Structure 1
Amino acid sequence: MALVLGAAVWPGGRPSPTLARRTAHAIALYRAGQVGAVMGCGGPGAHPPAEAAVIARLCHEAGLPAAAILVEDRSTTTRENLSYAKALLPAGAGAVIVTDAYHAPRARLIARQIGLDATVSTPGWAGVGPRQRLRHIPREALALLATLLGQR
């Protein structure tokens, strides 16, 4: 099961480039037979609908069968994404967390902390421009430290 971690939804229900990139990667994993289903994770943000609903819509538009698309649409943080998704997985099931490379270390750490048997798969750095890197890498470094210290 691919767990696609949410990202911003833009006005009109459009996926942000980050959300589109993560979802496209999960769809590729599904088509390659590396996962049997895709779960969109993420609740409502600044613009409707919930992040998970946009992920599900993109998967549907890409031709994934309805039975292979699940949603976790209450979470608002990475920890909640993974905790709520874990509760929806069959007992003992493993998962592939789909997120961006800059976010992967913290997602992996949180999965370990909550006892989620998971690997992480990213679309790499393609589509993550210099400005995004300058913004996200330092932020994630601080968030990783906070997670290690139990503050997040």
Structure 2
Amino acid sequence: MRAICLLGAAVRPDGPSPALRRRAEHAAMLWQSDRSQVVLACGGAGNGRVTEAEAAARLLGEGGVPEDAILLESRSRTTWENLLFGRPILQEIGATSLVIVTDPDHLPRARLVAAKLGLTATGSAPSGPRPATARLKGLLREGPALLVYALRPRA
């Protein structure tokens, strides 16, 4: 079975961030192309009471993904934890391959984490315009974070 792993992004007091919306819309589109798969929505609670996974699940439902095709990992706070805490859920359902959904600049780090955790994964990122500030912030964050994660031992 193939699973889609939707990585978390911020949930603000007024609702899901644009990043979470983009990712959830993209994951729903991927699910629509092959309805035999499941979507694992990842992400714990940040500053709000709704977890990133719960907010993503709502968006997935709005995108046509039925509730029984959505799994939640709602404890994680980092990319590493998204996949670490998601791994037992994926193993329990017998997922043999994984498509990680996140933003383009985040995808190399997410795939590195998957490899370090022994997960067979590809990646898919939403296309389309993103604000220049979001792209710049992503690039500035991802370079150092990729280095830190590259130095982290396998789990």
Alpha-carbon distance between aligned partners in 2 of 1:18 and 1:36, rounded to the nearest angstrom: 23
Aligned length: 149
SS of 1:45's equivalent? coil
- Asked if structure 2 preserves the Cα contact closer than 8 Å seen for 1:79 and 1:110, the reply is yes
Partner-residue secondary structure (3-state), 2:142:
helix
User: Does the residue aligned with 1:75 lie in a helix, a strand or coil?
Assistant: coil
Q: Which among 9, 12, 19 is matched to residue 11 of structure 2?
A: 9
- Report the Cα offset of residue 127 of structure 1: 3.2
Aligned to 2:98: 95
Structure 1 residue identity aligned to 2:118: G
Q: Are the equivalent residues in 1 in contact too, given 2:28–2:64 (CA < 8 A)?
A: no
Residues 41 and 72 in structure 1, CA contact (< 8 A), matched pair in contact too: yes
> Which residues of structure 2 form unaligned runs of 5+?
none
**Does the CA contact (< 8 Å) of 2:29 and 2:63 recur in 1?**
no
User: Matched residue of 1:89: which SS?
Assistant: helix
2:32 alignment counterpart:
31
* Alpha-carbon distance between aligned partners in 2 of 1:120 and 1:60, rounded to the nearest angstrom: 22
Percent of aligned pairs sharing the same letter: 44
Q: State the alpha-carbon separation in 2 of the partners of residues 114 and 136 from structure 1.
A: 23
Question: 1:115–1:133: structure 2 CA closer, same or farther, 3 Å change rule?
Answer: same
- Describe the shift of the 1:138–1:34 C-alpha distance in structure 2 as closer, same or farther (beyond 3 A): farther
TM-score (norm 2): 0.90
Supply the RMSD in Å over aligned alpha carbons: 1.6
Superposed displacement of residue 34, structure 1? 7.1
Q: In 1, distance between residues paired with 2:50 and 2:121?
A: 27
**Aligned counterparts of 1:92 and 1:141: Cα–Cα separation in 2:** 30
User: Which amino acid in structure 2 is aligned with residue 135 of structure 1?
Assistant: K
Of 126, 137, 140, the residue aligned with 2:139 is 137
1:139 alignment partner AA: R
